Amino acid sequence: MEVNMHWGKKRWAIAEGYIPSYGHGEGREFVSHETICVLNPSDEEAELSIMIYFSDREPAGPFKEKVGARRTSHIRFNDLSEPEVIPKGTDFSCTLESSIPVIVQHTRLDTRQAESALMTTIAYSE
Amino acid sequence: MEVNMHWGKKRWAIAEGYIPSYGHGEGREFVSHETICVLNPSDEEAELSIMIYFSDREPAGPFKEKVGARRTSHIRFNDLSEPEVIPKGTDFSCTLESSIPVIVQHTRLDTRQAESALMTTIAYSE
Amino acid sequence: MEVNMHWGKKRWAIAEGYIPSYGHGEGREFVSHETICVLNPSDEEAELSIMIYFSDREPAGPFKEKVGARRTSHIRFNDLSEPEVIPKGTDFSCTLESSIPVIVQHTRLDTRQAESALMTTIAYSE
Amino acid sequence: MEVNMHWGKKRWAIAEGYIPSYGHGEGREFVSHETICVLNPSDEEAELSIMIYFSDREPAGPFKEKVGARRTSHIRFNDLSEPEVIPKGTDFSCTLESSIPVIVQHTRLDTRQAESALMTTIAYSE
């Protein structure tokens, strides 16, 4: 079996996005966050272009990210800053386009309350 | 890379639906809810037609919604009222048809207890 | 737009199954459970045949269920009894075949602790 | 209807991986864990080859696993040890290749806090 294959898709979308406006917990590990996890199992670097969509204004972006060959990147929406910061407590959606096929999953850790809540889903691809 | 593409699907379904009959928490943010998140990355407005299916009666709907060009809409089942309100504490499913391709995700926040629980999944498309 | 279409798939699978062996909460609503939600948006009754797979024994089933035309059914694994009861606290997987196309989603409510946990995913279809 | 069919896919990927570095609870049932659930509904044994990808080093693996005919296996990343142990508290992704078609789902139980959190998703297949 070959280990480094070109698999996955180049276009992904996540319809549900929301960064809780506050968190409860110690350390970066327990900060409320919304993550796009991107796996690049290929032998080539992937260049990502992310657009963020809102309910009441024009989209933000493109945000540019890279994922090295045979690497995974867990991108936190909280950390995106260029061209702008994603507002907290606001509904959004995103699309992700990659220069080569990758695999994308979406996860949220919500720590607004004493006990955190988790959710995840494979993103939509085509 | 092009930013505004016609992507997604026109037909979506969510088999699992349930609006908890009560909640625990302050403000709209913490009301138990069941959401359909719809992303319309295209340059055209999307017209949605939602049908709700039950276990013991004929379906309700169609509920009509719109999502603007390059916008996302997080539709709460709790808020649907025309042609009727969705009963709480009842199992349901839904189908969503759109005039143009969109992307749909399904999320529930359950705040019946002191600590909320979260779940999400990409909807079924074809 | 047509409301009652023949859509979905006839073959579905859920790889992750587990009925917690106990629960914490009052009423059927808060009993730990593992559910297959089946939507039948067509105008014909769907006949389901469910097989349950284990890690250390031959599969159980087929379990026979029906979902009426334009109806949804939230089937709890806890409630299956014919040809046998699904043991609690045991890992399992399932396949579901339907006489006509349906849509299937998998959800677990875990109430073993004071605060319940939720998870859901669209099932695998082909 | 035939019960034992060759269905599923041979190539699967999970972009989001993380084994919480500690847990809270009694017994193996409540140890924080990250699981790949693999269903093999066929009449032939499935040979799995799993690769683990990281953000800052070359991939680990292949990890070799088998799933018997008509059996399911809930593989915990925590338990993988050959050729190496997966570090806790580290982001990772994985790919899974099987000698025959199988179905894969990804689940995390996080018990770092008093109340556990759950998440699951169907894996990406092609």
Contact A91 B37 (CB under 8 A): yes
Subunits in contact with chain B (3 or more CB pairs closer than 8 Å):
A, C, D
Type of residue numbered A117: A
Closest CA to B50 of B60, B65, B66, B63: B63
Block means of pLDDT (10 residues each) for chain A, 126 residues, are 67 84 57 82 96 94 96 90 88 93 84 65 80
Q: Map out the domains of chain B with their CATH numbers.
A: 9-125 (2.60.290.11)
Query: What residue in D sits closest to B124 (Cα-Cα)?
Result: D122
Quote the pTM value: 0.87
Count interface pairs A-C at CB distance under 8 A: 4
Which pLDDT score, from 0 to 100, does residue B50 have?
95
pLDDT at B4: 47
Q: What is the mean pLDDT of chain B?
A: 83
C115 pLDDT band, cuts 50/70/90, is low
Q: Residue D3 has what pLDDT? A: 46
The average pLDDT across B79-86 equals 90
The C residues from 24 to 43 touching D (CB cutoff 8 Å) are none
- B126 inside 8 A of chain C by CB: yes
- Residue of B48, B53, B90, B115 best to disrupt the C interface, most CBs of C under 10 A: B53
Give B73's contacts in chain A (Cβ within 8 Å): 55
Q: What ipTM goes with this model?
A: 0.85
B119 contacts in chain D (CB < 8 Å) = 119
Distance CA A14, CA B37 (A): 9
Band of the pLDDT at B90, cuts 50, 70, 90?
confident
The C-alpha atoms of residue D37 and residue D104 are separated, in whole angstroms, by: 6
Scan for tokens 């407590």, then name that residue.
A89
Classify burial at D94, counting beta carbons within 10 Å of its beta carbon; exposed 0-12, middle 13-18, buried 19 or more: buried
The per-residue pLDDT for C27 is 61
In degrees rounded to 5, what are phi and psi of residue D116? -80, 155
Residues C20-41 pLDDT 10s? 765 555 566 556 677 889 999 9
Residue B5 pLDDT grade (very low, low, confident, very high; cuts 50, 70, 90)? low
Using DSSP, state whether A57 is helix, strand or coil. coil
Chain B touched by A54 (CB under 8 Å)? yes
A53 contacts B41 by C-beta, under 8 angstroms: yes
Q: What is the mean pLDDT of the segment spanning C105-119?
A: 70
Peptide bond into C87 cis (omega under 30): no
A69 CA: distance to closest CA in chain B (Å): 21
Predicted pLDDT at B26: 55
Which is more confidently placed, D89 or C20?
A: D89
* Amino acid (one-letter) located at C95: T
Distance from CA of C57 to the nearest CA of B (A): 30
Distance from C-alpha of D10 to C-alpha of D99, rounded to nearest angstrom: 7
Does residue C51 surpass a pLDDT of 70? yes
User: D114 to chain B: nearest residue by CA?
Assistant: B115
**Which of chain A's residues have a Cβ under 8 Å away from the Cβ of C119?**
119
**What is the average pLDDT across D64-83?**
92
pLDDT at D110 over 60: yes
Exposed, middle or buried, B99 (CB in 10 Å: 0-12/13-18/19+)? middle
Report residue B111 as tokens.
């705040």
- On average, the pLDDT of chain D sits at 83
Residue B107: predicted pLDDT: 82
pLDDT at A19: 75
pLDDT of residue C63: 96
pLDDT value for B54: 94
pLDDT score recorded for residue B2: 45
In D, which residues are within 8 Å of A74 by CB distance? 16, 18, 55, 91
Put simply, the answer to whether B103 touches A93 (Cβ < 8 Å) is: yes
Closest Cβ–Cβ partner in D55, D119, D123 for A118: D119
Q: Which residue has the higher pLDDT, B68 or C18?
A: B68
- Which of B115, B119, B121 has its CB closest to that of D115? B115
Cα gap C19→C17, rounded to integer Å: 7
B88-116 average pLDDT score: 82
Q: Is the pLDDT of residue C83 over 50?
A: yes
Interface of A with C in 97-116 (CB under 8 A): 115
Q: State whether residue C121 sits within 8 Å of chain A by CB.
A: yes
Q: Which of A20-34, B107-121, C93-107 holds the top average pLDDT?
A: C93-107
